[in-house]
Structure formats: C-alpha cells, structure tokens
Amino acid sequence: MKHDKLVIGGHEFHSRFILGSGKYNVELIKAAVEQAGAEIITLALRRANSSGEGNILDHIPQGVTLLPNTSGARNAEEAVRIARLARELGCGDFVKIEVIHDSKYLLPDNYETIKATEVLAKEGFVVLPYMYPDLNAARDLANAGASAIMPLAAPIGSNKGLCTRDFIQILVDELDLPIIVDAGIGRPSQACEAMEMGVDAIMANTAIATAGDIPAMAEAFRKAIEAGRAAYLAGLGRIVEKGGEASSPLTGFLQE
Amino acid sequence: MNQKIDHMKYWPEMEVLEESRIMDEVLQAMESYDYSRYTAADVKYALRKENRGLEEFKALLSPAAGAFLEEMAQLAKKETQKHFGNSVCLFTPLYISNYCENYCIYCGFNCHNKIRRARLDEAQIEKEMQAIAATGLEEILILTGESRAKSDVEYIGEACKIAQKYFKMVGIEVYPMNSQDYAYLHQCGADYVTVFQETYNSDKYETLHLAGHKRVFPYRFNAQERALKGGMRGVAFAALLGLDDFRKDAFATGMHAYLLQRKYPHAEISFSCPRLRPIVNNADINPKDVHEKELLQVMCAYRLFMPFAGMTISTRERSGFRDNVIGLAATKISAGVSTGIGSHADDSAEQGDDQFEIADGRNVEEMVAAIKQRGLQPVMNDYVFL
C-alpha cells in the first residue's frame, strides 16, 4: 500500500479521496484535508470567481491540488471558456469538465464533454471529464486526451450509491485510464465497494458536507476508501455458496 | 379609464408564442384543482414518494397537509441540503425608477397613487451600485416600475452594463418584454429574469390590473418563456400570495415552472414567495388568510415538488421567519434592502417612495452574521456570466 500511487496526467497522489466542494463549507475543506487526507479538491470556478471572504480559494490549504470544474457550462464552448478562465485565475492546469444542460438531475452531456475534452487536452490541460458511464463515450474521451474518467454513480447530491455499478465496472475493466467515481456516493460503505471493484479514486462531497459530524465522516471515508483499495490489491476471493460446494462438480470425473 | 380592454388579448406590439400550450395547460389544471378533496392519506403518500409529480404537489398544498407541516419542513430541509448544501446566496434589489403606467390596485407604484416619483440617471445608478458593491454583495437585481416611456429597454440595458462592472450576477425584475428585448438585455449582462404573475386567476387578475400593459394576462404569463428564448440562463416565478386563493395560485406557479423546465431542461428555475404588504397611502393591505404557517407550507411544497429549484425569501417577512427558512427551503435571501429610489449611497436622500413596506431592514453585515450563526455559509456569488 505504501507504494500504491494514483497517477493522473503524470502527477502522483497518495490519497484516493477527492473532495468535491459544491456544498461549500469551510469546515468541510479542513476536515477533508486533515481527516480524510485529501490531496485534490475540486472547486466550481463560478464559486471561486468571487472576492472577499466568500472566495473559496482562500480556504484551500497549500500543497493541495486544485481541480477547478466547469459547472455552469451548458455546452462544450462554455466549458472551454470556463477552463481558460480558471487557468488565468491561477487555478493550475487541472480541470474537471462538467457540461450540464439539465437543471433537474444535473446529468452530464457526454457528447459535449467529449468535444470540450478534445479542445482542452490540446491546450495542455489535465482533463478529468465527468460523464455518464457509457463505454463508447469513455473510449472517445480517452482518445480525446482525457487524463482520467469520472463516471457518476448516481445523480449529484442524491447519496444513492452505486446505481451505475455494472457500467462503471465495464469502464474499470476496459479502459487504461484512472477511473474516479464522482457523484452519488452517500456512505463510506459505497465508497469501499467501488474501490473493491477496482475504481482508482472516489470523489465525494454531499455525504460528508451534510453529515452530523463532518470530521468524523471525513475520516470514515478515508478508512473505507483505504480498505476497499487494500481489498482490491489483495484480490477478492470467490464467494462460496451457502452450504459449500464441491470443488469440481462437473469436471471431477476426469480424475476418476 | 380603459377598463373595457380585453385582458386576455395581446396588443399589436406584443410577441405571441403561437406554439406554446403552457398557459392553457396551467389554467386548465388550476381550474380543476379541488384541494378540499385531498386527505391525510394523500399527503402521507406525497411525503413518502421520491419523485413527486403534480398530484403530490396538489396534496402538499391542500389544507390536509397543514397537519403535516413539521414533517414537510423536515423533508424540505433534507432536500435543500442535498441540492444546495450549506450555501445561502445573498443579493440586493436596486430600484432605479418607480414610474409606472399600470394601475394595480395593491401596488405602491401604481400610476394613480400619489407618491414621489424618481428615475435615476446613469451617474446616479453607478453611485448606488458602487455603494452596494462596497457592502460586499456580488449579485444585484435591477428593478423598475413598469413604464416603457420612463424606463425603456435601452435605459435598463445601460443599467445592466454598469451593473456588470460591479457585480458578478445581474438579474432583472422589470416589465415583460419581447424575446428580442430579453436578448438585448442578456447582451448587456443580465442573465436572470423575474416576473411575478401576481395571480394566475385571470378573472381576479382582470379586477386588480385596471390599466397599462400589465393588464394583458397572457403576455405576462409567457414572459419567462420569452426570456429563455432570448437566451437568459434562469427565470423566477411567483404569485403574490394573498391576492386570490393562495393554494390555487401556488399550484399554478409551481406547474408553470414545472412545464417550462420540461420544455427548456437547461433553464435554471427559481421561486419567490411574496405575500401582500401595506403600501404608501394604503396601510390596510394585508395578506389575508396567508399567515406564516400557510406561507411555510407553500415554500415546503415548492421545495418537495422541485427540490432543485432556487427559492428567494423576501424582506416582506420578519427577520425571525427569514432566518428560520434559509437552509430549510429558501436558498437566497436579500440584505440591505430599500424598495425606494436612490437611497443606497450615503450622501443621497431617497428621491422616490417605496413599493411596499419591508419587515427586515438588516444590512449585509448583519445578514451574513445571521446566516453564519445558523451554521450556514453565506455565498456572494455562485455564477459565471457566459
């Protein structure tokens, strides 16, 4: 585990927990870094685009990698504009692409996301696209230059867990890029389960932001993510059916 | 007086959205909404259901739901947290002109009410905006009385351009206009349009809005749709609760927003929840049967029906009520409010009278402190103009 690193666009991270910051809360940022060991924090540029004490940028600790997102973008062109603005504001080269033109469920538009990824990757951004877990779209994103793929587990803020489990598994199995589950993770156990599946990292926000004890929940997520990762690396054993089963029920006769 | 003008007929210069059926659908559904039919069982079902539709919304607005207000509030709070976390956005309205050509009998600005009228010029607007920006606010809502002669689209556009220099987010609450006018104001920096329908009961509407453009009910109704066609990011809806049957009006407001969001899924939707207030020269105007309990029921019903929608709580309400509904159902609150003309800058006295009496006069600093005290996060800006 010690040498187990998450590599995104050539940058190495030890933590596999990424904090989303949509549900803005200063206490949450502190807890995520101190208790959950977060090394990457996303921030909505539209929220950072502020002055005075409302500026979230002032609350990001040193040494943490900023992952500005393009929330507010309704198409590829707007996402590209927000990403460039983030770079101008000194947020670095990482960008999480969010293209949403559905105000009810906030589901991402894969097609526009692919277009934005292509443009921004060419401009040298480390592009992490938020997407609906579709294998074809994920391959297109990889070909367009994405540095990781961020499929959603469930609608943002829903805390519903791994609704798209089987489709995320396909991405884990078929793509060479890091897969970071983003949106919908409501409990540490769900984060653990995703990590066991071979997902590379978890992004969460609402689950911690709305917990009764924010630092305690942040720590619980860290432990769950580490446990899931350890289990994945250890190799999960098969699940024995109730009552046990013969070791070779159909081919045992070959030994007779 | 032109009382005989047909309030359902468009005037020649008014853009008609031929293909839109939204108004007919809303009016029909409102007509047939009989809230007395809903029982405690219907309310319980609506509370349990995850994705609530129009039937559940009707149940939640019914008198039967009054007995479930605490449960509604608890669920509403959860939904608000899920969608908005701890954030509470702050803004202030700026009234730049109170000239009005309408005769709305409950409004302080109505053209027959003898009040001091004023219209800020560009230099005065800039001065007012500088004073507001100095308080730390980054979102502004520009308001005018509804006079096209005294505050034409170009004048409002200039105000938006000035606002863009000082604020990150510029909204407008002005008279309804055609989609090309909205497109122009969007170019000038405005991105959010608020129009209060006042009441969705067109018969009642006709008796309250005796003259002026505002008399034309369908033109006002379709303002949000024209705004979206003009490229605005978001639109806000409201009925002025207390004018007519508030349950039916709240239902129509929600359904109006619901149908528009289905037709324009990208549109950001928000609700305002104003109640009638006393005005200059008529202190007797009051919200009738809409007490705080009913107002809270309406707010919770909006939240449970459209959990993702923004909701603004007005300074018409007392501070104790406002503080308790932020984070519960409301997501946006005004601070440092004056509904008069020209009173933000230190050295300028108010030149024009107020639209209505406010009940919460706290400034930005006090409002920020109140929000923090509730464990919530004041947010000055959550927006980028694209």
Q: Min CA distance, B310 vs chain A (Å)? A: 11
Token look-up 């208790």 returns A35
Contact B138 A46 (CB under 8 A): no
At B90, give phi and psi (nearest 5°).
-115, 145
- Gap between the Cα atoms of A55 and A48, Å rounded: 5
Q: Is residue A79 within 8 Å of A108, Cβ to Cβ?
A: no
Task: Check CB contact of B265 with chain A, cutoff 8 Å.
Answer: yes
Best mutation site among A49, A70, A106 for testing chain B: the one with the most B CBs within 10 Å? A49
In B, which residues are within 8 Å of A205 by CB distance? 85
Token look-up 């443009």 returns A119
Q: What are the C-alpha distances in Å from B28 to residues A186, B32, B59, B219, B316?
A: 41, 6, 17, 17, 31
Q: How many CB atoms sit inside 10 A of residue A31's CB?
A: 24
- Gap between the Cα atoms of B4 and B168, Å rounded: 44
Domain tally for chain A?
A: 1
Quick one: DSSP state of residue A100? B
Q: How many CB atoms sit inside 10 A of residue B115's CB?
A: 18
Write down the catalytic residue from A5, A96, A122, A242: A96
Structural domain for A72, as ranges = 6-234
Q: What is the mean pLDDT of each run of 10 residues along chain B (386 residues)?
A: 75 92 96 96 95 96 97 95 89 88 77 80 92 93 89 95 95 96 97 95 87 90 97 96 94 98 95 82 70 95 97 91 95 88 71 75 92 90 80
pLDDT less than 50: residues of chain A? none
Q: Six-digit token pair at B41?
A: 């069982």
Domain-embedded: residue A242: no
Q: Which residues of B246-279 are buried (b: 16+ CB within 10 A; e: fewer)?
A: bbbbbbbbbbbbbbbbeebeebbbbbbbbbbbeb
- Comparing alpha-carbon positions, the chain A residue that sits nearest to B310 is A103
Domain-embedded: residue A254: no
In A, which residues are within 8 Å of B380 by CB distance? 50-52, 54
Quick one: DSSP state of residue A209? H
- Comparing alpha-carbon positions, the chain B residue that sits nearest to A184 is B82
Task: Check CB contact of B268 with chain A, cutoff 8 Å.
Answer: yes
Contact B377 A103 (CB under 8 A): no
Q: Min CA distance, A249 vs chain B (Å)? A: 46
Among candidates B136, B267, B380 on the partner chain, residue whose Cβ is nearest the Cβ of A103: B267
Q: Six-digit token pair at A1?
A: 């585990």
Task: Check CB contact of B308 with chain A, cutoff 8 Å.
Answer: yes
In A, which residues are within 8 Å of B269 by CB distance? 103
Token look-up 């001091």 returns B116
Give residues with Cβ within 8 angstroms of B158, minimum separation 6: B122, B125, B188
Q: Is residue A116 within 8 Å of A95, Cβ to Cβ?
A: no
Contact B138 A78 (CB under 8 A): no
Q: Min CA distance, A182 vs chain B (Å)? A: 15
The pairs formed by A8-11 with CB atoms below 8 angstroms and a separation of 24 or more are: A8/A94, A8/A126, A8/A128, A8/A147, A8/A148, A8/A178, A9/A94, A9/A126, A9/A127, A9/A147, A9/A148, A10/A126, A11/A65, A11/A126
- Comparing alpha-carbon positions, the chain A residue that sits nearest to B379 is A54
Contact B384 A45 (CB under 8 A): yes
Domain-embedded: residue A198: yes
Best mutation site among A19, A21, A23, A70 for testing chain B: the one with the most B CBs within 10 Å? A23
Q: Is residue A57 within 8 Å of A67, Cβ to Cβ?
A: no
Q: Min CA distance, B269 vs chain A (Å)? A: 8
* Closest listed residue to residue B384, CA positions, set A184, A88, A116: A88
Element (H, E) at B293: helix B292-305
3-state secondary structure A171-195: HHHHCCCCEEEECCCCCHHHHHHHH
Residue type, A148: A
CB contacts < 8 A (A, B)? 86
User: In chain B, where do the E strands start and end?
Assistant: 87-97, 139-144, 169-173, 192-198, 234-239, 268-272, 310-313, 332-334, 377-379
The ipTM value here is 0.76
Domain-embedded: residue A81: yes
Contact B266 A74 (CB under 8 A): yes
Q: Does the annotation count A96 as an active-site position?
A: yes
In A, which residues are within 8 Å of B87 by CB distance? 23-24
Contact B382 A52 (CB under 8 A): no
User: A181: left (phi > 0), else alpha (psi -120 to 50), else beta?
Assistant: beta
- Gap between the Cα atoms of B89 and A24, Å rounded: 11
Q: According to the model, what pLDDT value does residue B295 have?
A: 95
Task: List the domain boundaries for chain B.
Answer: 22-379
Q: Six-digit token pair at B356?
A: 């209505």
Contact B168 A74 (CB under 8 A): no
pTM over 0.80: yes
Q: Min CA distance, A164 vs chain B (Å)? A: 19
CATH 3.20.20.70 corresponds to the domain B22-379: yes
* Closest listed residue to residue A45, CA positions, set A64, A8, A73: A73
Q: Which residues of B145-158 are buried (b: 16+ CB within 10 A; e: fewer)?
A: bbbbebbebebbbb
Cα-to-chain-centroid distance, residue A33:
16
In A, which residues are within 8 Å of B265 by CB distance? 101-104
- Annotated binding residues of A for 1-deoxy-D-xylulose 5-phosphate, written as ranges, equal 157, 183-184, 205-206
Determine the longest span between alpha carbons in chain B, in angstroms: 59
Task: Check CB contact of B86 with chain A, cutoff 8 Å.
Answer: yes
Q: Min CA distance, B83 vs chain A (Å)? A: 6
Q: According to the model, what pLDDT value does residue B361 have?
A: 86
Contact A23 B383 (CB under 8 A): no
- Gap between the Cα atoms of A170 and B118, Å rounded: 65
- Annotated binding residues of A, written as ranges, equal 157, 183-184, 205-206
Residues 48-77 on A with a CB inside 8 Å of B are 49-54, 72-74
3-class DSSP state for residue B139? strand
Contact B377 A25 (CB under 8 A): yes
Element (H, E) at B28: helix B22-32
Q: Is residue B248 within 8 Å of B33, Cβ to Cβ?
A: yes
Task: Check CB contact of A24 with chain B, cutoff 8 Å.
Answer: yes
- If you count DSSP H runs as helices and E runs as strands, how many of each does chain A have, helices first? 9, 10
Contact B381 A54 (CB under 8 A): yes
Beta-bridged to residue A34, according to DSSP, are: none
Q: Is residue B191 within 8 Å of A74, Cβ to Cβ?
A: no
Indicate which CATH number applies to the domain containing A130.
Answer: 3.20.20.70
Task: Check CB contact of B136 with chain A, cutoff 8 Å.
Answer: yes
* Closest listed residue to residue A203, CA positions, set A139, A156, A137, A134: A156
Q: Six-digit token pair at B289?
A: 């049967």
Domain-embedded: residue A170: yes
Q: What are the C-alpha distances in Å from A230 to residues A2, A195, A234, B329?
A: 11, 9, 6, 42
Q: Min CA distance, A83 vs chain B (Å)? A: 12
* Closest listed residue to residue B205, CA positions, set B189, B224, B186, B220: B220
Residue type, A220: A
Task: Check CB contact of A23 with chain B, cutoff 8 Å.
Answer: yes
Token look-up 């700026």 returns B94
Q: What are the C-alpha distances in Å from B266 to residues A104, A129, B81, B152, B284?
A: 8, 19, 21, 29, 42
Q: Please write the tens of the pLDDT for every residue from A102-131.
A: 988 889 999 999 999 999 999 999 999 999
In B, which residues are within 8 Å of A158 by CB distance? 82
In A, which residues are within 8 Å of B308 by CB distance? 103-106
Task: Check CB contact of A212 with chain B, cutoff 8 Å.
Answer: no
Q: According to the model, what pLDDT value does residue B131 have?
A: 93
